[in-house]
Amino acid sequence: MNVRAFILVQTEIGFSSAVAKQCHGLSNTVSVDQVTGPYDVIVVVECASIEELGLEVVSEIQQIEGVTRTLTCPSVHLVKNFSTAE
């Protein structure tokens, strides 16, 4: 069973677009959105395990230039997947 998580990323001023583009190319990335509010980018990832999720956040996203903070929110229950037809 895959672990799905929403990673909220705060960036330095002026780095939002560059960080979003780099997150797009990372392994396990499902989607990347630039947003407004206290965080600048939301990255959705799916990993094989919680350990892999930790490696994804620590070794990849937090090392991107311009990233100042991340908040990882693992999904506990998928209510509806809009990308699949019913």
Query: Hey, where are the domains in the chain?
Result: 3-74
Write down the residue that tokens 């960036």 correspond to. 11
3-74 folds as Alpha-Beta Plaits (3.30.70)
How is residue 38 written in tokens?
């206290």
- Amino acid, single-letter form, for residue 28: N
Q: Which DSSP symbol is given to 25?
A: T
Task: Looking at the chain, list the stretches that DSSP marks H as alpha helix, in order from N- to C-terminal side.
Answer: 16-24, 50-55
Statement: the pTM of the whole predicted model exceeds 0.85? yes
Read off the pLDDT of residues 16-70 as tens digits, 9 standing for 90 and up: 999 999 999 998 999 999 999 999 999 999 999 999 998 878 789 999 999 999 9
Terminal CA-to-CA distance of the chain, rounded, Å?
A: 21
